[in-house]
Chain A
Amino acid sequence: MKEHPRTAPQKGFNFDYLMWLFTRLSALGMYLIAIVGVTAALLMSARQNMSVADLMRWAFMPNPNHVVNTNIPNVDTWKGIFWNVMGILMLLFAGGHGLHGLLNVLEDYISRTWVRNLLRGLVLVVWVVMSAIGIYVILTS
C-alpha cells in the first residue's frame, strides 16, 4: 500500500473534537427523543391501538405517516408543532451523527489529502440536501 503522509490530529478545541463530542451528545439526544416519543405514545392510547413494530417506527421518527396505518382513531394529537420540532431534531441529530460516522469510516481507508477534502465537501452537500428534503417531508406530512 502506498504511503501518503499526513499530519496527526491536533489536540484541543477544534472541529474534529467538536464532532467527536457531537456524536456522543447527539446519541444521548436521540435516546431522549425516542423515550419522549414512546412515553407520549403510550399516554395517547398506543397500548390498545398500536403494535410494537408501529410503536418502534414512531419512536425512531415521530411522524403522523407512521401512525395512519394503525388502529389509532384520530391522528390529530399525533401531529402539530411539537411533533414537527421533535422530528426535525431527530432528523438533524441522526443526519449529522450518521454522515459524520460515514466520513469517519471512509477516512480510515483513504489517505490522499485531496480525496479526503473532496469527500468532506461531498458529505456536507449530501447532509444539507437530505436535511432540506427531510424537513420538507416532516413539515408537509
Chain B
Amino acid sequence: MGLKRNVGLMEGLRYQGKGPMLTYYLHRISGLSIVIFVALHILAGYLSNQAWGSSTGLFINSIYESWIFQIYIFFCALFHAINGLRIVILDLWPKLIEYQREAIWIEWLVFLPIYSIALFVIIRSGLGG
C-alpha cells in the first residue's frame, strides 16, 4: 500500500528514479521557493508602497533585485512553468503518459537554451556590462 511508508532518508536518496524523479524533486523545490518568494514579495510591496514606506519592504525587495537571487528565482519560475506544462499535458491526455521520458527530454531541450540565454544576460548585467 502506498499509504504505509517505512523508507528512511538514506534509502530514499539511493532510490533510482532517474529523469522523472529529478523533475519531481525540482518541481517541488522550485514550487516551494516560488511560494515563499511571492508571499514575501507581496508583503514587501505592501510594506514599502501602501504602509508608510517601510524600510523592511525595501530591504526585502533589494534582495530580490540582486542578480544572484535572480539566477535562482528565474530557474525556479522557468523550470516550474515548463515542467508544469508537461504535467498538465500528460494528465489531461493520459494516453501520452507512455511517452513521459521522451517528454522530459523535450522539456530539457526547451528549458536549457532559454535558461542559458537568460543566465548570460543576467550575469553580464550583474557584472556591470
Contact = CB atoms under 8 A, between A and B. Distances in A.
Interface of B: 3-6, 8, 28, 31-32, 34-35, 38-39, 42-43, 45-46, 49-50, 70, 74, 77, 81, 84-85, 87-88, 91-92, 118, 121-122
A102 interface: yes
Nearest to B74: A56
A137 B50 contact: yes
B50 A140 contact: yes
A47 to B, nearest CB: 16
Given A24-B91, A60-B77, A133 B32 contact: no
B42 A130 contact: yes
B46 A1 contact: no
A-B pairs with lowest CB-CB distance, top 7? A98-B35, A24-B88, A134-B42, A101-B31, A27-B84, A137-B46, A137-B45
B42 A137 contact: yes
Contact of B32 (A3, A28, A65, A102): A102
Chain A: number of interface residues, binned into ranges: 20 to 34
Interface centre among B28, B45, B81, B118 (most CB of A within 10 A): B45
30 contacts: A1-B6, A1-B8, A24-B92, A27-B84, A27-B85, A27-B87, A28-B88, A31-B85, A53-B70, A56-B74, A60-B77, A65-B49, A98-B31, A98-B35, A99-B35, A101-B31, A101-B32, A101-B35, A102-B31, A102-B32, A102-B35, A105-B28, A105-B32, A130-B42, A134-B42, A136-B50, A137-B46, A137-B49, A140-B49, A141-B50
Interface string A50-71: 0011001000100001000000
